[in-house]
Amino acid sequence: MDTLTHIVLGACIGEAIAGKQLGKKALLLGALAQNIPDIDIVASFWLPTTTDLLAHRGITHSILFALLVSPLLAWLSLRIFSSSGLSSRRWLYFWSIQVFIHIFIDAFNAYGTGWFEPFSHYRVSFNTLFVADPLLSIWPLLALLALLIVRKSNPKRKLWATMAISLSSIYLLLSITFKLIIDNRVTKNLENNKETYSRYFTTPTPLNILLWYIVVQKDSGYSIGYSSVLDTKPNINYHYTPRNEVLLALPCDTSDKNNLIRFSQGYYTAELRHDSLVFNVLRFGEILGWENEHPQSVFYYYLQYPANNKLIVQRGRFAGWNKAAIKRFINRISGN
């Protein structure tokens, strides 16, 4: 998830666990604790771009990392905050729950999380949440703002924090429910149309859990479509995108190409754009794909010009968005 979500959620969890003993320090420590796994962003300063893609949410988002770092941080906290009254067991619980929740909720979006590193490079991706979702984050954000203002002696502080965490948890469960609805719709649609395919995935479009992006893998390419939970007609309209595997035989950096294939989890296409070989990772969606007939992928990498690849996961997310596009987006979410 995005950093803001981890900050506000971590602060609320910190209040719920240790607010009584630590006062408002629990908010700061909670926000810090919730972001510990993202220490891997430091590696981006020296790692090549495609290597960094695999390093992020890798070992620092693993179960092993959580098991190793939590006792160490608990030991340090017991000595630094010796007057807090929190036991070693309580400190261990504080840090463990924060780190484990971070790596748990990160697995609910498309990037993938290396729970089993270094023993397995498999990335866990449940694909039920966009990386930033206002309705997931708003509740702990509001609670945090209130907790920063009211006195630490207010008896309702823990209740507000707990309620915020509960509302975000309900939203997470709702996203799972909606994914099951969409997945059921996709499989029925493919069966009714007697489509031949090898696999598919669904993931939410930006900032919501109502409109879903669908990629169906076939022999030489993909059928890509969109479906809203609010659609009244079950049929899904797809556009076909060829994989163009043959283009990857063109001269390019082999390590970059192999890293991107692994990162894409096999959902990718190649294309020539202005005589440059471009690698598209389909898992992150398309630029305004729900309204464009031939949309461009959000994630694209210039294989022959690696120096031109900065912010490659983020650069296409909201390209072309304006007031009119947002209005059409909301209209599509509503089932029109």
Vertex 312 angle, CA 36 and 7, to 5°: 25
> Structural domain boundaries of the chain?
3-174, 195-333
pLDDT at residue number 152: 86
**What mean pLDDT, rounded, does the chain reach?**
94
Taking residue 313's Cβ as centre, other Cβ atoms within 10 Å add up to 16
**CA-CA distance, 143 to 170, in Å (whole number)?**
16
pLDDT at 312 over 70: no
Query: Would you give the DSSP letter of residue 123?
Result: P
**CA-CA distance, 321 to 127, in Å (whole number)?**
23
pLDDT at 211 over 70: yes
Structure tokens at 300: 């694209």
Taking residue 240's Cβ as centre, other Cβ atoms within 10 Å add up to 11
**Average pLDDT of 60-84?**
96
Structure tokens at 231: 């659609």
**Average pLDDT of 296-305?**
91
DSSP letters spanning 203-231: EEPTT-SSEEEEEEE-SSEEEEEEEETT-
Residues paired with 301 in a beta bridge: 279
Structure tokens at 22: 């630590």
**CA-CA distance, 205 to 284, in Å (whole number)?**
9
pLDDT at residue number 77: 96
Vertex 147 angle, CA 6 and 206, to 5°: 35
Vertex 175 angle, CA 173 and 181, to 5°: 110
In the chain, what's the furthest Cα-to-Cα distance? 68
**Average pLDDT of 158-176?**
98
Global pTM reads 0.93
Percentage, residues of the chain above pLDDT 70:
99
pLDDT at residue number 208: 97
Exposed/middle/buried for 65, CB within 10 Å: 0-12, 13-18, 19+? Answer: buried
If phi > 0 it is left, if psi is from -120 to 50 it is alpha, else beta; for residue 113 that is beta
| 187 band by pLDDT with thresholds 50, 70 and 90 | very high
250 CB-near residues (< 8 Å, 6+ apart):
277, 303, 304
pLDDT at 309 over 90: no
